Amino acid sequence: MGETEIGRIKNMLKELPFFEDFTDDNLEYFSKQLSLRSVPSDTIIFNEGDIGDYLFFILDGAVDVRLDSSPTKKIVASFGRGSCVGDMALIDDYPRSATVIMTENSEILILTKARFAKINRDNPDVANKLLMGIAKNLSIRLRSQTGRFADLA
């Protein structure tokens, strides 16, 4: 990946709330660990039950998260620009809990589990900030689900 692309990725990350606690040096380092991909609409990014080894950030576009194991392939969430998707794959070794499909032509940044291990080893400050971002995301999603449960009571 060339310096121009790394600079572009760094500038895109600066615009995402997930990275608000990252310094310029953190973003520079982290940008070098990511892969930038353009993905057409209707592309399945991963399937429910797959073994997960990466997460991705949506720079542009949108995805639906659906449960293929349900009879109707129910859509349980939709995410757009700035969202982090597939984050549990960096935390555990369980199969993917849902299928993720692009609903628009999209641009995403991929972080593999192997790259995360490198970050954890070489730059603990960035790894800690990344984990805190993932924890915040999971907390927000859990609170959202808890709200849905309250509506059923």
* Per-residue confidence (pLDDT) for residue 153, from 0 to 100: 52
The angle that helices 113-122 and 124-152 make with each other, rounded to 10 degrees, is: 130
The answer to whether residue 152 scores a pLDDT higher than 70 is: no
CA distance 144 to 147: 5
* Per-residue confidence (pLDDT) for residue 137, from 0 to 100: 84
Give tens-digit pLDDT for 14-44.
998 889 999 999 999 999 999 999 999 999 9
Mean pLDDT for the stretch of residues 3-24: 90
Closest CA to 79 of 58, 108, 109: 58
* Per-residue confidence (pLDDT) for residue 142, from 0 to 100: 80
Compute the chain's Rg from CA coordinates: 16
In this prediction the pTM is: 0.88
Longest dimension (CA), the chain: 54
CA distance 112 to 2: 19
* Per-residue confidence (pLDDT) for residue 146, from 0 to 100: 64
The answer to whether residue 48 scores a pLDDT higher than 70 is: yes
Q: Where are the domains of the chain?
A: 3-152
Closest CA to 116 of 89, 84, 85, 83: 89
* Per-residue confidence (pLDDT) for residue 65, from 0 to 100: 95
Neighbour count for residue 71 (Cβ, 10 Å): 6
Neighbour count for residue 1 (Cβ, 10 Å): 13
* Per-residue confidence (pLDDT) for residue 1, from 0 to 100: 65
CA distance 112 to 13: 17
Neighbour count for residue 78 (Cβ, 10 Å): 12
**Which fold, 3-152?**
Jelly Rolls (2.60.120)
Backbone angles phi, psi at 143, to 5 degrees: -60, -40
Give tens-digit pLDDT for 91-149.
888 999 999 999 999 999 999 999 999 999 999 999 999 999 999 888 887 877 766 55
The residue count of the chain comes to 153
* Per-residue confidence (pLDDT) for residue 151, from 0 to 100: 53
